[in-house]
Amino acid sequence: MGFSPLDTPDFEHLVQQMTVAEKALLLAGSSFWETNPIERLGIPQMKVSDGPNGARVEHGVTSACFPASVCLAATFDEELAGQVGKALGQEKKTKGARVLLGPTVCPHRHSTGGRNFESFSEDPLLTGLLATHYIKGLQSQGVGATIKHYAVNEQESNRFSMDAHVSERALREIYLKSFEISIKNANPWSVMTSYNLVNGTHADASDFLLTEVLRNQWGYKGHVMSDWGGTNSVADSLDAGHDLEMPGPAVHRTVDNIQKALDSGALSVGTLDQRVLANLKLLEQCNVFNDPSIPPEKAVDLPEHRALIRKVGAGGALLLKNDESILPLKKDKIRSIAMIGLAKEFLGHGGGSAAVNAHRKITAYEAFEEAVGGSIELKYAEVNIDGKHGFSVNCWDADGNTQETQQVPSSSFRSFESGGPSRVVMSGTYTPTVSGKHYISFSTIGNTTAYINDEEVFKYEGKSADVMAVLMGVAKEDQNRYDFVAGKEYKIRIEARTVRDAESPLSFLSSNVIGFNFGLVHQDLFEAHLVPEAVEAAKASDVAVVFVGNTSAWETEGCDRDDMNLPKDGSLDKLILSVAEANPKTIVINSTGSPISMPWILDVAGVLQVWFPGQEAGHAIADVVFGDACPGGKLPVTFPIQLSDSPAYENFPGDLEANHVEYKEGIYIGYRYYDKKSETVLFPFGFGLSYTSFDVSNAILSSKTFSQGQQIHITVDTKNIGDRNGSETIQIYVGASEDASVDRPLKELKGFAKVHLAPGEKKTVRVSLDQESFAYFDEASKKWVVKAGKYMVSVGTSSRDIHATLEIEVESRFDFNP
């Protein structure tokens, strides 16, 4: 039976007609990306898709790659966030998807969180407001948002099993607040639960998170789905309000398990039907009943998407240092530029769910060539982090019969399909150009041995701790060093057998799977060859620009980083210092999604933080470097001087053997903590230089007192007193007067406004404050409380650059429900 559009589906009638088996089908996916259809009742299938900055696809089709959310957050621009969401909705339609698995709104708890780049900020208000506009833009195109990962998913280490213990005050004020803001203001069509446990209960089965908070207190009436493999029970998750297990086929919500839960009384028919109804309503929201088609994936490279990506990439670029106004580079004043490091690497996105097979991968070198048009000599000195090699692969089935032989471009292999190979041998040769003790790296699902010239260099028996991370190509890799001689041929061989992962939450992993990654990292090239080459190029050039950062293998879903250092073991830091010594006009352009250590900060003239700016990365960078765009980005995260200065340093990632992490820092993450530790900050939250200058003045509060239910406004005049167009972000912080009975941050961001100004132009911005701007969560009463007393309203252009402080008084204490 085919599908025909239903005029007005009577969902309750549909549910009444369903068998238990059919209901069970609607409670879980059919495959990695699709839901289950029920042809008998005319219920169609629907496709969903990663990820938050572009469409991940299955069949090699290219997609638009947008800037990472941390780059979008650096713009402090709600309108741009809405435009990105709208464009992502348009892009998802070209891939046949009705739901996007994003945005990610968990705050940046620690500087080394592997997935920080995929989320927005350390501050819940900034995150919540930008995510609100992102979601509204996306859903305006008829594509549903899936806000994630709910909740307390701030690390990748032991992400499937970690039990995060956090106080309710910290939950309410920090870790749930960005979800609350976005859900109340944008109504995302779905919420994705996280893998981890929260205070002893898996997030997908948490009655506190899903029923008490999400549905009862916040009034959410939408859909809830699991992260991929993040369903951990049958009745418990269904009772808590969890609607859809993904991916499929079901592991927990099989027909037998559902029937057993009903028969035992652990699950009621009423609860079962509520969950089925929620899945039907999501199909209706996504217009699947009227249009059940899943069109084939198409690559549609729209000029307007290119332009938006380029605009956001430049808008999120952050000028951190600019001695003697070395930037922007003036094309008529310089004859040569040394382009050193990763200038020819595409650093547009992070790894994992955010990895996109981009339409375009514009490198900085390509964009600089286009920008200067031959008028300036570009002297290039390469630094290659990751070796790329060609290999042949032979596959055999369980009976020893040859299945296939193929050539592959890289030393990675994954198979988790039914009937896939039982044994794989990958072989190839490598001839180094430079002698040295280079790094070799390795990760595997298990049962794999790697050889160089028949010498065993890695061996892993059994299964790995995070099979899913390896399959996605994002697992943390083991590393050894091996002595190579330039010009000598080395035979590399990797032998792998299938691994049965019966404990995996993913159904396809309970069958036989094979997966591994093998790589070469030329550590000694920096010292033996490339540093001298870079120094010579720097000496011979008017300006040296060193491009550094993290590839998608270094900053990725699946693993947290060990430190804030650039890769690899200080090599890029050494490169920067050597170049800066050779040429005092050295500029560092850094592409990472999180803070880095900068031991060279006093030695260089300029620093530009560009995050992961999407497919037009090179163009966005060139626009800022040559002054076609004025940097207006502000830091959405604090850059500490060193990792040990971070508030969660002693408690991240927690006790990995016990699968337990304590959020002992409570509400003090990000600038809330650093405001009391000013000596530990390299660059503060909200900071960012410009090519022009601004005067911020005449800050006025609409009232000097505040009472329950009132809304007040603060107005601020901002004038561009420089000689070029630019933008400034006015940031409003509120701090309570000192009160020994309640521990409060010195100040908290409660509003902001982005203003674009021509030279000499002045505008008045207005920011509103309400009762939530003055409140804290009281654990004893389970209510938000505003205490009587004086509060300071600070007007700043960063959390440290405060231009005015105004006093307001709350005359009487009051509280309100969350």
Active site residues: 227
| Long-range CB contact pairs, 303-308, < 8 A, 24+ | 304/87, 305/64, 305/87, 305/90, 305/91, 306/64, 306/360, 306/615, 306/616, 308/66, 308/83, 308/84, 308/87
**Contact, 581 vs 143, CB < 8 A?**
no
Total residues belonging to the chain? 818
SS3 state of residue 458: strand
Where does residue 353 fall: left (phi above 0), alpha (psi -120 to 50 degrees), or beta otherwise?
alpha
First to last CA, the chain: 48
| Long-range CB contact pairs, 303-309, < 8 A, 24+ | 304/87, 305/64, 305/87, 305/90, 305/91, 306/64, 306/360, 306/615, 306/616, 308/66, 308/83, 308/84, 308/87, 309/64, 309/65, 309/66, 309/67, 309/613, 309/614, 309/615, 309/616, 309/620
Question: DSSP for 700-746?
Answer: EES-SEE-TT--EEEEEEEEE-SSS-EEEEEEEEEEEPP-TTS---S
Alpha helix locations (H) across 394-489?
467-471
SS3 state of residue 594: coil
**Contact, 420 vs 434, CB < 8 A?**
no
**Contact, 144 vs 188, CB < 8 A?**
yes
**Contact, 147 vs 135, CB < 8 A?**
yes
What is the H or E stretch that residue 49 is in?
strand 48-49
**Contact, 263 vs 230, CB < 8 A?**
no
Q: In terms of Cα–Cα distance, which of 616, 696, 565 is closest to 308? A: 616
How many whole angstroms separate alpha carbon 155 and alpha carbon 147?
A: 17
How many whole angstroms separate alpha carbon 219 and alpha carbon 212?
A: 10
R_g (Cα) of the chain, nearest Å: 27
Burial class of 285 by CB neighbour count within 10 A (0 to 12, 13 to 18, 19+): middle
Strands 705-706 and 223-225: unpaired
Amino acid code (one letter) for 526:
F
**Contact, 592 vs 611, CB < 8 A?**
yes
- What are the residues whose beta carbons fall under 8 Å from the beta carbon of 434, sequence distance 6 or more? 486, 522, 524, 525, 528, 529
- What are the residues whose beta carbons fall under 8 Å from the beta carbon of 148, sequence distance 6 or more? 101, 102, 103, 104, 105, 106, 191, 192, 194, 227
Angle between helices 364-372 and 617-625 in degrees, nearest 10 = 50
What is the H or E stretch that residue 283 is in?
helix 269-285
CB atoms within 10 A of CB 628: 12
Q: In terms of Cα–Cα distance, which of 203, 157, 227, 109 is closest to 558? A: 157
Q: What is the 8-class DSSP label of residue 208?
A: I
